[in-house]
Amino acid sequence: MATFVDRVVLHATGGDGGHGCASIHREKFKPLAGPDGGNGGNGGSVILEVDPQVTTLLEFHHLPHRHAPSGTQGMGDHRAGSTGADLVLGVPDGTVVKSPDGEVLADLVGTGAQYVVAAGGRGGLGNAALASQRRKAPGFALLGEPGESADIVLELKSIADVALVGYPSAGKSSLVAAISAARPKIADYPFTTLVPNLGVVQAGDARYTVADVPGLIPGASEGRGLGLEFLRHVERCAVLVHVLDCATLEPDRDPVSDLEIIEAELAAYAGDLGIEGGRVPLTERPRVVVLNKIDVPEARELADLVRPDLEARGMRVFEVSTASHEGLRPLTFALAELVEQARRDAPAPEATRVVLRPRAVDDAGFTVTRREGGGAVWFAVRGEKPERWVRQTDFSNDEAVGYLADRLARLGVEERLYAAGAVAGDEVRIGPDTNAVVFDWEPTLVTGAELLGSRGTDARLDDHSRPTRGEKRVEYKERMDAKAAARAELWTEREQGVWTDPEQD
131 is in an annotated binding site: no
214 is in an annotated binding site: yes
- Continuous H helices in 102-159: 127-130
293 is in an annotated binding site: yes
Phi, psi of 427 (to 5 degrees): -80, 130
Say how far apart CA 80 and CA 76 lie, in whole Å.
Answer: 8
Tally the C-alpha atoms within 13 A of residue 148's C-alpha that lie toward its C-beta.
Answer: 12
321 is in an annotated binding site: yes
Tally the C-alpha atoms within 13 A of residue 152's C-alpha that lie toward its C-beta.
Answer: 25
Task: Find out whether 148 and 87 touch, Cβ atoms under 8 Å.
Answer: no
458 is in an annotated binding site: no
Q: What value, to the nearest 5°, has the Cα angle with vertex 271 and ends 270 and 277? A: 35
Say how far apart CA 128 and CA 40 lie, in whole Å.
Answer: 12
395 is in an annotated binding site: no
Phi, psi of 428 (to 5 degrees): -125, 135
pLDDT at 80: 93
166 is in an annotated binding site: yes
pLDDT at 190: 47
pLDDT at 443: 72
- Continuous H helices in 242-383: 255-273, 297-312, 328-345
Q: Is 256 exposed, middle or buried (0-12, 13-18, 19+ CB in 10 A)?
A: middle
Phi, psi of 309 (to 5 degrees): -65, -40
Say how far apart CA 186 and CA 300 lie, in whole Å.
Answer: 22
pLDDT at 1: 37
195 is in an annotated binding site: yes
Q: How far is CA 206 from the centre of its chain?
A: 40
3-state secondary structure 362-396: CCCCEEEEEEEECCEEEEEEEEHHHHHHHHCCCCC
Q: pTM to 2 decimals? A: 0.70
Q: Which residues of the chain have pLDDT under 70?
A: 1-4, 182-196, 215-231, 251, 270-280, 348-354, 362, 444-467, 498-505
Beta bridge partners of 98: 104, 153
477 is in an annotated binding site: no
Instruction: Tell me the one-letter amino acid at 392.
Output: Q
111 is in an annotated binding site: no
pLDDT at 454: 59
